[in-house]
Amino acid sequence: MNWKDAALLHAKDQSPKESVGLLLNVKGKERYFPCRNLSMTAHQCFILDPEDYVKADSLGSIKAIIHSHPRTSPEPSQADLVSCENSGLPWHIINPHNETWGYCEPTGYQIPLIGREWVWGITDCWSLVRDWYKQERNIDLIDYERNMTPEEFIQNPLFEKYTKQTGFIELEEGEALQKGDMLLMSILHPTLNHVAIFLGDMVLHHLADRLSCREPYSMWLQKCTAKRYRYAS
């Protein structure tokens, strides 16, 4: 069985979850190595089990990442293009139902700040804050694994816990906001479950299941804002 047929069988078996595996060069032969998807939202994205990656690497040279789109076209999504860049490897994508394939490889792609699709842990509100700081100020903010579902995160968000580790300090009450300050908000829930970037009379943010946008810092958003931070490191 060739690697494409093996990847297709794995994708069909895992549907409606996304499958993920690796294309290996084992003694000059291409082999498909199936991996476990550890994502808490496996119907939408994947997190390749690092133990599987290490095992595959011991068997041969890793040539590409292969994953499925069970519900959509195999064309790479924005989240795929971002993750492909981060992986440094080509990606093959398969739809297991119509057996069509897509492909992408690292090309220096940089996702726009505005109009990006929301995908938990890849292009969400914290990802947008990180990307703004990288693009606008060449600052690399640390990332955090989203090892829970979005629903679980809302109940116990980590933003407030990690702000100091990330290099932010909380502003005093009454202290004027400056461009680039981070706003910690409560959106439709009492916990501090959302972050945004202050841009003067506008904010840049990415709400769940919406496109990222820049919009006026309205009275409603101001009421949702519970804490304000400035990058200090």
Which residues are catalytically annotated? 125, 194, 205
One-letter amino acid of 221: L
Neighbour count for residue 68 (Cβ, 10 Å): 28
Tokens 């949702």 locate to 224
One-letter amino acid of 95: N
Spatial distance between the Cα atoms of 54 and 11, rounded to a whole number of angstroms: 21
What does 71-135 look like in DSSP terms, one character per residue? Answer: SS-SSPPHHHHHHHHHHTS-EEEEETTTTEEEEE--S-----SSSPPPBTTTBSHHHHHHHHHHH
Spatial distance between the Cα atoms of 113 and 51, rounded to a whole number of angstroms: 33
| 115 contacts: CB under 8 Å, gap ≥ 6 | 211, 212, 213
